[in-house]
Amino acid sequence: MKTLTFNNGDKIPVLGLGTWKSKPGEVYQAVLWAIEAGYRHIDCAAIYNNEKEVGAALKKAMTDGLVKREDLFVTSKLWNDCHRKEDVKKGFLKSLSDLQLDYVDLYLIHWPISFKKGVGFAENREQYFTYSDVPLSQTWQGMQGLKSEGLTKHIGMSNFNISKLKEVLAIGGDGPEMNQVEMHPFLRQEKLVEFCKSNNILMTAYSPLGSGDRSTSSKKADEPKLFENEIILSIASKYEVNPAAVLIAFSTNRDIAVIPKSVNQERIIQNFHSGNLILDKGDLDQLLQIKDQYRFIDGTFFTGTKSPYTLSDLWESD
């Protein structure tokens, strides 16, 4: 499996198992199936509310000799209610305990949005902190502390735009090493990709298949469908693979890590093999020129009259 390399020489497998929306009762077996299939990169987060089960699967896999800890790459993420410097380590240690690990390989700030302690999803203005209350510098200094203690090998963020990345880079000291964002042929993120590469920040693509299994309340009736796009279907036919393989290869062929989620054993195996699909330049160029552009995870649940944040705090203006 292809890997990407951090500045210190550590490597991250380009393909990982995503665990967002994997329900307790399903994710344990999915993680074991993934490790058996060859996955060594598992992506987790506190807010997914399944890290205890992921941790149990990781422990069983290591106890049974399926994999050694040093051969696994485990990512977790800091939730929005732990952005104050004094809360960063508390949030991290909860995930570390749930995952039954001594360290994680990568720890990310999940969103550039801050809630008051104990808030799962803010429902009113009183449950939010502003950037004046909790500046990103405070959160990032907490993240740097985790790395300096050896609790995480690498630190970064998720859902950060260029302006927010610049703000963090200006802090000095250990800089961001990863930015995980939604990415697929309908959301190519070309400016953000260029910025991250020019600043030695690796990238991970989430929802590479369009996250069709998310709740209907978060979907729009007229959403475009990646699996019905003629260019994607044509390329899949050419390589005699399913469209999901092309969507996964879209990231791996751009040297971007990708974390498709599945709890189905057959699809977990199919997705893993998709990480080895090499697209020729013409096919990749076609995918990079698809006119339809659409953000499936639009972030509106963090904005509006109830919130001090706007979409410009999340995404690029274009």
Annotated active-site positions, please? 48
AA identity, residue 5: T
User: Cα separation of 175 and 165, whole Å?
Assistant: 9
CA atoms within 13 A on the CB side of 232: 25
C-alpha separations of 174 from 40, 104, 108, 153, 170 in Å: 26, 17, 13, 11, 11
Taking alpha carbons only, the member of 155, 154, 151 closest to residue 110 is: 155
8 Å CB contact between 26 and 35: no
C-alpha separations of 164 from 116, 158, 250, 262, 288 in Å: 20, 11, 26, 31, 25
Buried b (16+ CB within 10 A) or exposed e, 287-301: beebeeebbbbebee
